[in-house]
Chain A
């Protein structure tokens, strides 16, 4: 893939993660360039969310390194990485239920944004508009339905002003129309020059946004390339559906 801005924004090098005797990440290398949107697929238990946790700083790897713009952040906390430019949206949105949509997003802007109050306010407005939440800005978060919760989760991550956005299964459970809206929102984010790493089981949604697909299985990257090629790779199909021959 040709890159207009081929700078590496985020990289995992030989990342390993064990939980007790269980090896969940077994030497993962991943390079994310500043202009890239990458999809990560893989069967259950492949290590996708664990990789995202290691990239975001929620988990320390058992081995290997994470680099953010060539700075080794392996030992940096999630909060620090957030301030350094890693935004993250979780699979299960957990907004502050008692707070309004705006306040939730403001927490993101204030935490990760390194902004003054006024600048943080205007970033919140901007993010809420981009995520189609502006009309709900004064609603309490707990009153939101699933689609809007997912959008709020995305908005909170965006409000931290990330250079790279990590998304964990934000498409699950959406209707077709809702998924189409989500795709449009992510495309809009891409136009803001934010790199995206997106874990998603719903492959046909993913491939509408990403130009590169990484498939993981048993803690390893087993394929990495153009979505069409990766999804036809027999090792990838075998990882999901079992091998064709006994």
Chain B
């Protein structure tokens, strides 16, 4: 198992954002996390990446307990996060943004050339400052930057947030390329149809817990909607408190 999260808890001060979450992701899987605002998706991703401290529980990466490891150490081990809101260096060029990440990760197939091959729309922009790019181009750069660390596990938070439908299509075409290269991905995605299309497995979070899990073929839109709003417990694998 590439990633194993065991009984993870994470807090924001007084507020408990992640409650007793356990999940496993095998090599080559794409897990989509869906859930309402405040369900704990971003905090869960950040806690896996080392950007947020776990209050309890464990994160095992390829069998190694990384719960107390710093984020940069986890990057070297092969965990990369594409954060919500992208957080590029706006005054650095696309090239520079990619290269900053490249020095900090593992050795592997991803290089500047490989990223530009996967994101052909970025190539002509490589000398442009990241802050001048469109939202979709910035998102592609942010994913490319994460890939530059040659991750074994790519965490993508809300790749389509604030983008036009056309830009979202572009981002997903690129992600599809990454998925086909055999990457292992956890993806936070609000758009259920997209999540169902791209993921091998879907987990729905509600108030810090995973309340429904399954493959896109096992899950109906109705079942996910019920779990998403917490309106019906029958038929869902409701986690106990």
Check: A107 CB closer than 8 A to any chain B CB. Answer: no
Check: A44 CB closer than 8 A to any chain B CB. Answer: yes
C-alpha gap A203/B231 in the complex (Å): 7
B residues in contact with A245, CB < 8 Å? 193
B residues in contact with A242, CB < 8 Å? 190-194
A residues in contact with B221, CB < 8 Å? 241, 244
Q: Which of B32-40, B71-79, B91-99, B100-108 contacts A (4 or more CB under 8 A)?
A: B32-40
Partner of B34, one of A169, A203, A237, A241: A241
Cβ contact within 8 Å between A240 and B228:
yes
B156: min CB distance to chain A, Å: 16
A178: min CB distance to chain B, Å: 10
Cβ contact within 8 Å between B231 and A145:
no
User: A-side interface residues toward B, CB under 8 Å?
Assistant: 43-44, 145-146, 149, 169, 172-173, 175-176, 201-204, 207, 231, 237, 240-246
C-alpha gap A203/B228 in the complex (Å): 9
C-alpha gap A43/B190 in the complex (Å): 10
C-alpha gap A231/B221 in the complex (Å): 14
Check: B166 CB closer than 8 A to any chain A CB. Answer: no
Cβ contact within 8 Å between A201 and B36:
yes
Q: Known contacts A175-B241, A204-B230, A231-B231: does B192 contact A145 (CB below 8 Å)? A: no
A residues in contact with B36, CB < 8 Å? 201, 203, 240
Q: Report the interface size class on chain B.
A: 20 to 34
A209: min CB distance to chain B, Å: 14
C-alpha gap A237/B207 in the complex (Å): 18
Q: Known contacts A204-B229, A240-B36: does B14 contact A146 (CB below 8 Å)? A: yes
Beyond known contacts A43-B190, A244-B193: 11 more, CB 8 A cutoff: A146-B14, A172-B15, A172-B38, A173-B16, A202-B38, A240-B190, A241-B221, A241-B228, A242-B194, A244-B221, A246-B193
23 A-B residue pairings within 8 Å (CB atoms): A43-B37, A43-B190, A44-B37, A146-B15, A149-B14, A169-B38, A173-B38, A201-B36, A201-B37, A203-B36, A203-B231, A204-B230, A207-B231, A231-B231, A241-B190, A241-B192, A241-B193, A241-B221, A241-B225, A242-B190, A243-B193, A245-B193, A246-B193
A residues in contact with B15, CB < 8 Å? 146, 172-173
Cβ contact within 8 Å between A204 and B231:
yes
C-alpha gap A203/B16 in the complex (Å): 18
Cβ contact within 8 Å between B225 and A202:
no
C-alpha gap A245/B194 in the complex (Å): 10
Most buried by B among A43, A173, A202, A204: A173
A residues in contact with B231, CB < 8 Å? 203-204, 207, 231
Cβ contact within 8 Å between B241 and A176:
yes
C-alpha gap A201/B224 in the complex (Å): 16
Cβ contact within 8 Å between A203 and B229:
yes
C-alpha gap A146/B190 in the complex (Å): 28
B residues in contact with A240, CB < 8 Å? 36, 190, 228-229
Cβ contact within 8 Å between A173 and B14:
yes
C-alpha gap A126/B29 in the complex (Å): 57
B236: min CB distance to chain A, Å: 12
Cβ contact within 8 Å between A203 and B230:
yes
C-alpha gap A240/B225 in the complex (Å): 9
Check: B122 CB closer than 8 A to any chain A CB. Answer: no
Most buried by A among B36, B190, B207, B231: B207
B residues in contact with A237, CB < 8 Å? 225
C-alpha gap A244/B190 in the complex (Å): 12
* Nearest opposing residue in chain A for B221, CB measure: A244
A189: min CB distance to chain B, Å: 23
C-alpha gap A175/B228 in the complex (Å): 17
C-alpha gap A201/B231 in the complex (Å): 12
* Nearest opposing residue in chain A for B208, CB measure: A173
A201: min CB distance to chain B, Å: 5
Check: B187 CB closer than 8 A to any chain A CB. Answer: no
Q: Known contacts A43-B190, A44-B37: does B17 contact A173 (CB below 8 Å)? A: yes
C-alpha gap A243/B194 in the complex (Å): 10
A241: min CB distance to chain B, Å: 4
C-alpha gap A149/B13 in the complex (Å): 13
Task: Give the 3 A-B residue pairs with the shortest CB-CB distance, closest first.
Answer: A242-B191, A146-B14, A173-B15
